[in-house]
A and B are shown apart, each in its own frame.
Chain A
Amino acid sequence: MAMKPVTSPDAEAVKIELSIDGEPVTANEGVSLYDVISSTGKIVPAMCYHYTFDPFGSCGMCLVIQEGKKSPVRSCTAKAAEGMVIRTEGEDLFAARKKGVEKHLSVHPLDCPVCDADGHCELQDMAFQHQVTDLANAKQKNIPEDTRSLVLDFNMNRCIACGECINICKDVQRIDALQFMKKGGFTQVVAKGDQALDCEFCGDCLAVCPVGAITNKFSKYAYKPWQLKKTTTTCNYCGDGCQMYVETKDTEVVRVTSPLSWKNKWGDRTDTVNGHNGLCVRGRFGFQYIDSKERLKQPWIRKDNALVEAPWIEALDTAAERLKGIKEQYGADAIAGLITARCTNEELYVFQRFMRTVIGTNNLDSSARYGHVNFVRAMHHALGIHRTMNTSADISKAKAILVVGSNITETNPVASLRIKAAMGTFKASLIVVDSMQTNLAKLASHPTMVKPGTEGLLVKGLVKSVLDQDLVDSDVTGQAPQAFDALKQAANAVSLDDVATQTGVSVEHINEIAKIFAESPRSIILCGEGIVRQSDGYHNVLNLVDLAWVTGKLNAEGSGINTVVEEGNEQGAMDMGVAPEFLPGPVPFDDATAKEKFAQAWGHALPVAHDGSTLMDILQGCRDGKIKALYVVGENPLATLPKSYGVDEALGKLELLICQDPFLTETGQQAHMVFPACTFAEKDGTFTSQEGKVQFVRPAIEPLGESVLDWHIFVGIADSMGHTLPYESTQDIQDDIRKLLPGYYNLGQPKNIKADPAAYLSNGYARETPGRYANAGTLGNKVRPVGLKLIQLIYHSGKLSTKASGLMDISPNTKCLRMAPEEVEQLGLTEGGRVRVTSDHGQLELGVEADLAVLPGTCVFPEHFTDPPVKDLVSVELDPVTRVPYFKLVQVSIDKV
C-alpha cells in the first residue's frame, strides 16, 4: 500500500499553497486534493472515499474544476499541487455529479422496500440530493445473492463497485479477503478466489458498504434504520474498549454497528492512530446473548435440593439472613466474594465496599487474578504505575514492537490493527515471540517461534544479549550504577546457548532482535497471556522491565511496556481495588493513610491489616472449611479451573453459595441461591480500557425479566443486613468515586502517567534480581513430549461468548484438538480420526484437526469450551508472589486410538 507522505511521524512534509473557491489554503504536498478540500469544511460528495484508506477513485462523484483543465477532475485521486486553482461548486459540477449518480442508479435494482440499507444508503442520499428524477435506460442485473458466507450476504445487484469493502479489508485490516471479479458481465465483489468468505469476520466491509450490497445475516430483513434505538456504549468482550452502537427495537437487540461507517468518511488519515473505530467479530456479531432465551429472569433459592423460583424480596432477605448468621457464627473472614471483571467500575466499587464494610472481610477477588494482576503488581512494584504505559497512538507510531506471548489478533483484534498499522504505514519492525504461528507472526518482520512455555526464558536471553552486545543506554543505567551492576551479575547466570537450545531460537536471531529493539527510537513491548498467564508471569514482567530499562525505553517518548487484557474491565477491577492487596486507586491495602481515608469516607472501619485471600486461596479456604460462604458474581470457577484443583469439592463444602449471573452457570447449578443479573447492555456505568480510558456504558434495553443491575443487589442485601450503602443511582456511585479518586473520570482520555523506576532500582533491586535470573531450569519432558496449550479464539471471549448464537454459528465447538498438519500426518490420522491425550492428571479421547498455526511439538485447544474437558488435563501452578494460577499449558503425550 502506498504510504501517504505526511502520515509518517518521521517525515517532515513540504507545505504548498493552493486556492479553493477563491480562498487560499495551505496543505501538505502530495496529499489528495479531496483531503485538502474536506479539511476546509467543504463537503464534496464521494461514494468510494473513506479517510482510513487511500483514495480509490471509482465512483466519479468527487468532481471539481481545476483551472486550466477542460473537463472536471476527480479530486480524490488528484494530488494537491502548488498553485492549483480549484472550484468545488457550480451548476456544471452539479450536473456532472448528477450524471455520476445516474450511472450508478441505472443498473441498481428497484428494491428499496426490502433492502436492509434503505434509510442508511449513500446512493439514496446522492440521488435525492442531486434530484435525479428521470432516468433513461434503467435495467437490472439479476445476479443471484451470494449467501455462502457464515455472517454476510453479498447482493451484487446493489453493488456500486466503490471498492470500500475491499480497501478497508486490505489497507486497514490487512486481511485482503475480498476482491473484484468479472462475473456474468458485471464487476462483482467476491471473497478471494470466489469461495465462501473465510476471514476474521470483523464486518468492517459491512460497516463501510454505502449501499445494501453486503448485509448482515443475523439481522437480515429484521429492521429498518428508523425503527431502531441507537445506544452508544462500550464493548465488554475484551480490554480494547471499542465504542459501539447497540441498536435495539423494544427489548430486542437487532444489530450492533460501529462508529466506522460510510457515514463518517471525512477525516484525516493520521486520526487512525487512535483507532479506526471499527469492531471485531465478537463485538459486531456476538450480541445475541444479551436478549438470549437462556437468560435468568427470576431469583432462585435451593429448597429440598432443587432450585425453585422465589420473589426478590424473599431472596434478598434470605441471603442477608444467612450471611449475617455465618458472620456471627464464624466471623467475617468465613465469607468471601468473587466478581467478574465484566462488571462496570461502579459495580466493582460497590462490591468491594460491600465486602469490606458490610461483611467486613478482605476476602475478595476478581477475574483479573487469572493474569492481569501479575502485570499490575509488577508494574506497581517496579515503576509505581498500575497499567500499560502507552496509548494506541504510541503503538501506531512505534518503530519496533516486541510482542511476547500474545496472540493479539485473536485476543484483542482491534488493538492488533494498531500494530499492523505501525508495520504497514510506518514500516515498523515487528518481533513476535510466540509458540504458535499466529496471524501476527506471519506478518512479522522477525517471527520468533519458541517452544511452549519458554517465552519467559527468551526474555531473559534478550536481557543477556543486550548486556553482551553492549546495547545499553548508559545515560539511564548510569543513574543507578549499583542496580546495573546487580543486573549484570544476575544475568551471568543466563547462558545464551542454553536459551537457544531450550527455546529453539538461534543465538544470532536473539542477538538480532535484541539489537533491533534496543536501537529503534521508539520501541514498544507488548506482553500477553503467553507470558503473563504462564509460569512465573510476575517475574517475567519484571524481566521485561529490566529489558526496557537497560535499553533506555522506560522513559523514552513513545516507548514502554504494555499488555492486553481479556475481559472488558480487568483494568477497572484493579483500579477499583477489587483485590485483597489493593484499595481503590489502586493503593496498597496496607497503606495506613489511604485506609484511614477510605474508612472515613465509608463511615466504617476496614478489615485489619492482614492480606485477605485471593481467588485461589479462597477456593482453598472453602476446601479447608475456613470459608463457609461464598458470593460469586458473574464468575464461574467451576468451569474455568481444572478439576484437579478440586473446585467441585470446595464449593460442595460451603454452607452458603450465592451465584449472581445473567446465565445459569455450572457454579450456579451448585449454588444455594441464584440471582439474575444484567448484561452490559442493560447497565449504566463505565468501563476502563486496558489503555486507561474510562468510557461510558449506557443501557440499550431495559433489564430482562426480573433481572437487576449487580449493584442494586449489593445495596439490597446490605439493606437487608441493616447497613445502608448510600447509592440510589449510578451517578451517586460516580460522585463517590470522583471524591475519593479525583480525576478518575477523565473525559475518556487516559490519565497521563509517568513511570519512575528510581525507588525500585535503589531499593532492594540488587536483592531480588539474582533470584529472577538464576532459576533457568530445563523444561521439557521425555515421556510427555507435546505441549498442550489452551488458547483463546478470535470468535470467543471467556465462556460468555458461547451464549451468543452468532459466534457459535461462526465458530462452533468442534471438540477437536488442533495439531500441526505434518504431525497429524505422522500419526497417520485422517479426517475424523481420534487420539488419546494423556497428561499427569488423566487422559482423554478426542478428535483431531489440522491447523497451520500450530507448530510441531505442540497442540492446542480453545479454552472457551468445556466439552470435552481438556482443561481437566492441565495442572494448576500458583505464582509464589501474586497467587496467580497458571493452568494454560501442560505436557502431554498423544497416541492414535
Chain B
Amino acid sequence: MAHLEDQRETIYKVDPEHPETKDLPVLRSEELLLNMGPQHPATHGVLKVILDLEGERITKSTVVMGFLHRGVEKLAEHGTYHQFIPHTDRLDYVCAMYNNFAYCRAVEKLMDITVPDRAEYLRTMVAEIQRIIGHLFWLGTQALDIGAMTVFFYTFRDREILLDWFDELCGARLTTSWYRIGGIEKDLPDSLLEKVRQFLDYFPPKIEEYVIFLEKNRIWLARTVGVAVITAEDALSFGLSGPTLRGSGVDYDLRKYESYGAYPKCEFSVPVGKNGDTYDRYWIRIEEMRESIKIIKQCLEQMPKEGAVMADVPSVTLPPKDRVFTNLESMIQQFKLFSQGFDAPAGEIYCGTEAHKGELGFYIVSTGGGNPYRLKIRSPSFIHMGAFDHMAKGYMIADAVTIFGSYDIVMGECDR
C-alpha cells in the first residue's frame, strides 16, 4: 500500500502551494493501460488484449487467451480417432470442413491410407467452397470492424447460399463432420452438383461487387494501406502462414508444396503480396476466392463420374451400412470400430493443411491402440496472435481491431 500512496503523491504534486494552480485538475502525461475484451464485439470471440498506450499509440500489447479453452486436445486422448472428427468442427467453427479435412489427412497419413479418386476431388472441391465461405466471412466482418456495413450484408448473403449446400450435403451448416478417415461420409447429391455449376457463373461478378465497395474506398485504404506491416523475414520467424504470410511476399502455400488432395491435378496460382500490410492481405483473399472458383471448376470437370468415396480398408473404415444388416463380418467391423476404434501403429506424425487462415496442422503421437496418446493442434489463429505485439507496436488504438482482424482469428481455434 505504501508505494501506491507514494505514487499518488508524485502524480498529484503540481505545486499545491501556488494560489492559482492549487485547485486545478492535474495535467500529466503517463502510459495508459487499456483492457480490450474479452467481451468486445470486435474481438471475434472472447479475446482479451491489454494495450499499453502512449496517447493513442500502442506501445505494447499483451494478448490474454484461454477464455474459450475447452480442452479439445485432451478430449482427443479419450476417444477413438473417429470420435474426434466432430470435435474438430468446433475448432474454427465458421469453417468446419477444413478442420475435418486437416484432421482426417493427419490420421490418414498415420494409418497410411489412400483415399479414392472421386473422394479426393470431392474433398478438394468442398474444401475450396469452405475457403470461399471463410474468406467471405472474413471480408464481411473485417469491413464491418473498419466501418463498412454493406459489404457484410453482401458477403453473408452469398455465404448463406454455400452454407445451405452444406446442410444438403451433410446435414449441418456449420458443424459439418462430413470428412471421414479414408474418405467422406456420403457422396454429393446430384441436385447439389447442378447448383455448384450455377454458382460458378454467379459468383465471380459478386466478387467484383465487393471490390467496387472497397478497393478504391478512401476510408478502407486509409485504414488498411500501410497498417500492420510485417516484413517477410519477421513473418517467417513468427511462424505466420496463409494470407498473412503471403501478404509479406513469401510464396508459401501447402496446396502447392505438399500438393495433397486433388490440388496437384488442378491449375491455380498463389497470389503473393508485396508490402506485408493489411491491404495486401485483403487483396490476397480476394484473389484466392477467384482461384478457388477455378479449382472448383476443374474439380467438377476432372472428377470421375462414379466410384467409391470411401477407402476400402476394413481395419479402419466402416462397412457399408446395408452389409451390416446381413453380414456378420461387417457387423463385427462396425462394432469393433465404434466401440474400440482402429489400432493405429505406434509413432508420431505431423500433417499440415493449408486452411484459409494458414497452416492448420495436427500432430499425433500414437502408442498403438484406439486412442491417440497425444494430439496437438497447430492452429494458425494461435500462432498469428503471437505476432500481434510486434505488428501492433506504433499503430493507433483503432488499428488493433484491424490487425487481429487481418489474421482472420477465430477464438475457438485459438484457445482450443
Contact = CB atoms under 8 A, between A and B. Distances in A.
Interface of A: 105, 108-110, 112-113, 118-119, 123-125, 127-129, 131-135, 138, 224-226
Interface string B305-338: 0000000001100010000001111111101100
A243 B179 CA distance: 45
A127 B339 contact: no
Contacts of A128: 314-315, 332-333, 336
Contacts of A113: 331
Given A118-B335, A119-B339, A226-B339, A135 B315 contact: no
Closest 4 CB pairs of A and B: A132-B329, A128-B336, A131-B314, A127-B332
Nearest to A227: B339
Nearest to B327: A135
B340 interface: yes
B332 A124 contact: yes
B315 A110 contact: no
Nearest to B331: A112
A342 B226 CA distance: 80
A127 to B, nearest CB: 5
B333 A110 contact: no
A774 B329 CA distance: 76
Nearest to B319: A133
Contacts of B319: 133
Given A119-B340, A128-B315, A134 B335 contact: no
A857 to B, nearest CB: 59
Nearest to A118: B335
A133 B333 CA distance: 8
B328 A108 contact: yes
Contact of A131 (B315, B327, B335): B315
Given A112-B335, A119-B339, A119-B340, A133 B314 contact: yes
B66 to A, nearest CB: 31
A79 to B, nearest CB: 33
B329 A105 contact: yes
Nearest to B330: A133
B107 to A, nearest CB: 18
B80 to A, nearest CB: 11
Contact of B339 (A110, A131, A224): A224
Contacts of B332: 112, 123-124, 127-128, 132
A138 B339 CA distance: 25
B139 to A, nearest CB: 46
A20 to B, nearest CB: 23
Which of A108, A112, A225 lies at the interface centre, i.e. has the most chain B CB atoms within 10 A of its CB?
A: A112
Given A119-B339, A131-B315, A138 B333 contact: no
B251 to A, nearest CB: 44
A127 B315 CA distance: 10
B329 A135 contact: yes
Interface in B321-375: 326-333, 335-336, 339-340
A37 to B, nearest CB: 21
27 contacts: A108-B328, A109-B328, A110-B326, A110-B328, A110-B331, A112-B328, A112-B331, A112-B332, A112-B335, A119-B335, A119-B339, A124-B335, A127-B328, A127-B329, A127-B332, A128-B314, A128-B315, A128-B332, A128-B336, A132-B314, A132-B332, A133-B314, A133-B319, A135-B329, A138-B327, A138-B328, A226-B339
A657 B136 CA distance: 79
B342 to A, nearest CB: 9
Which has the most chain B C-beta neighbours within 10 Å: A113, A119, A131, A133? A133
Query: Is chain B's interface secondary structure helix, strand, loop, or mixed overall?
Result: helix
Given A112-B328, A132-B332, 19 more contacts: A110-B326, A110-B331, A118-B339, A119-B335, A124-B332, A127-B328, A127-B332, A127-B333, A128-B314, A128-B333, A128-B336, A131-B314, A132-B329, A133-B314, A134-B329, A135-B329, A138-B327, A225-B339, A226-B339
A502 B332 CA distance: 67
A129 B336 CA distance: 10
Interface residues of B, number: 15
Nearest to A132: B329
Interface string B38-71: 0000000000000000000000000000000000
Contacts of B339: 118-119, 224-226
A131 B331 CA distance: 12
Interface string B89-131: 0000000000000000000000000000000000000000000
Contacts of B335: 112, 118-119, 124
A646 B328 CA distance: 67
Contact of A135 (B314, B328, B336, B340): B328
Contacts of B333: 127-128, 133
A123 B335 CA distance: 12
Contacts of A131: 314-315
A133 B330 CA distance: 6
Interface-centre pick from A118, A124, A135, A138 (highest chain B CB count, 10 A): A124
User: Which one of B332, B333, B339 has the highest number of Cβ atoms from chain A below 10 Å of its Cβ?
Assistant: B332
Nearest to B325: A110
Contacts of A124: 332, 335-336
Contacts of A127: 328-329, 332-333
A105 B328 contact: yes
Contacts of A133: 314, 319, 329-330, 333
A123 B333 CA distance: 11
Nearest to B323: A133
A318 to B, nearest CB: 47
Contacts of B328: 105, 108-110, 112, 127, 135, 138
A227 to B, nearest CB: 10
A110 B332 CA distance: 9
Interface string B372-397: 00000000000000000000000000
A131 B316 CA distance: 10
Nearest to A123: B332
Contacts of A118: 335, 339
A129 B340 CA distance: 13
Nearest to A109: B328
Contacts of B327: 110, 134-135, 138
Contacts of B340: 119, 226
A135 B319 CA distance: 14
Contacts of B336: 124-125, 128
A834 B333 CA distance: 61
A123 B314 CA distance: 16
A158 to B, nearest CB: 11
Nearest to B340: A119
Nearest to B336: A128
Contacts of A138: 327-328
Contacts of A226: 339-340
Contacts of A125: 336
Nearest to B315: A131
B298 to A, nearest CB: 35
Nearest to A135: B329
Nearest to A131: B314
A560 B416 CA distance: 64
Contacts of B314: 128, 131-133
B319 to A, nearest CB: 8
Nearest to A140: B328
Nearest to A101: B329
A132 B330 CA distance: 8
A112 B319 CA distance: 15
A131 B319 CA distance: 11
A62 B327 CA distance: 25
Contacts of A110: 326-328, 331
Contacts of A108: 328
A118 B337 CA distance: 12
A125, A127, A134, A225 — which one has the most chain B CB atoms within 10 A of its CB?
A127
Interface string B236-257: 0000000000000000000000
B198 to A, nearest CB: 40
A377 to B, nearest CB: 53
Contacts of A123: 332
